[in-house]
């Protein structure tokens, strides 16, 4: 029995998310892997299990000051959207941007002749704004949907990534756990902000958002500032 390439890519992404969340004790947030909202976190009675697990992980992340941005360049994280990585989706014959578009969009169509790699159209239920966005590939339209690094690469650089080797930085920049298809202008407003300076306008996604940041920073040995830790902890306390 064979599966459609897109189905395989989505299934692989979901399987990787489930495996990581199970290992980190965050299995109760798995429903958020492909949707926006915070139903799995609850809204009263103190932090729910997923938030409590994230708080416990947060306490294992070192707290330091932000290092200088000296030496930062996007190229230090490898060619944008390279397939030459060791994380989920690597070496599947499709670039990371299109992998994430295929994962996060619904009703997607593909550019002919690309073996269902290059996404041509689709619809995004944007986690950052809770808006529905129609994606159309093109020079003047593609930016309506952008791929956000949940932990911005510049932020990562200033909080430990400059000490990582080249291959690990490439992994960080292309790790599906650290990537979301989102509203382009909202992604622009985030820039390289951390949780102390920026959270999604869609309040119902904030618990999932900061949990993802904790997961990624823990996985790659990055640190947080005190203000960042305080902001994450305050958000998780409401989940």
Q: What is the pLDDT of residues 72-104, one digit of tens each?
A: 999 999 999 999 999 999 999 999 999 999 999
Closest C-alpha among 55, 61, 23 to residue 41: 55
Pairing of strands 179-183, 145-149: antiparallel
Tokens of 117: 């790699």
- What's the CA gap between 32 and 177, in Å, rounded? 12
Query: Would the pLDDT of 108 be above 80?
Result: yes
- What's the CA gap between 188 and 20, in Å, rounded? 28
Counting Cβ atoms within 10 Å, is residue 55 exposed (0-12), middle (13-18) or buried (19+)? Answer: middle
Closest C-alpha among 2, 225, 187, 1 to residue 100: 187
* Backbone torsions φ then ψ of 129, nearest 5 degrees: -120, -10
pLDDT digit string, tens, across residues 172-223: 999 999 999 999 999 999 999 999 999 999 999 999 999 999 999 999 999 9
- What's the CA gap between 175 and 123, in Å, rounded? 22
- What's the CA gap between 218 and 229, in Å, rounded? 13
Task: Report how far Cα 83 is from the mean position of its chain's Cα atoms.
Answer: 17
To the nearest 10°, report the CA torsion of 186, 190, 196, 202: 10
pLDDT digit string, tens, across residues 125-151: 999 999 999 999 999 999 999 999 999
pLDDT (0 to 100) of residue 33? 37
């Amino acid at each position: 029995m064979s599966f459609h390439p897109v189905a395989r890519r989505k299934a692989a992404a979901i399987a990787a998310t489930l495996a990581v969340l199970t290992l980190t004790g965050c299995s109760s947030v798995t429903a958020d892997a492909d949707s926006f909202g915070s139903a799995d976190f609850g809204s009263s009675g103190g932090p729910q299990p997923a938030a409590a697990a994230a708080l416990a992980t947060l306490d294992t992340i070192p707290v330091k000051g932000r290092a200088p941005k000296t030496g930062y360049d996007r190229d230090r994280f490898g060619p944008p959207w390279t397939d030459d990585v060791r994380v989920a989706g690597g070496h599947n014959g499709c670039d990371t941007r299109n992998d994430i578009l295929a994962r996060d969009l619904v009703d997607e169509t593909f550019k002919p002749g690309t073996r269902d790699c290059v996404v041509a159209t689709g619809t995004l239920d944007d986690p950052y704004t809770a808006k529905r966005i129609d994606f159309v590939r093109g020079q003047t339209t593609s930016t309506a949907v952008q791929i956000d690094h949940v932990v911005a690469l510049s932020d990562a650089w200033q909080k430990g990534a400059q000490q990582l080797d080249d291959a690990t930085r490439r992994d960080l920049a292309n790790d599906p756990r650290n990537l979301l298809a989102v509203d382009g202008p909202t992604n622009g407003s985030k820039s390289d902000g951390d949780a102390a300076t920026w959270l999604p306008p869609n309040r119902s996604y904030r618990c999932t958002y900061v949990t993802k940041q904790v997961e990624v920073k823990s996985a790659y040995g990055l640190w947080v500032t005190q203000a960042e830790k305080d902001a994450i902890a305050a958000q998780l306390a409401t989940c």
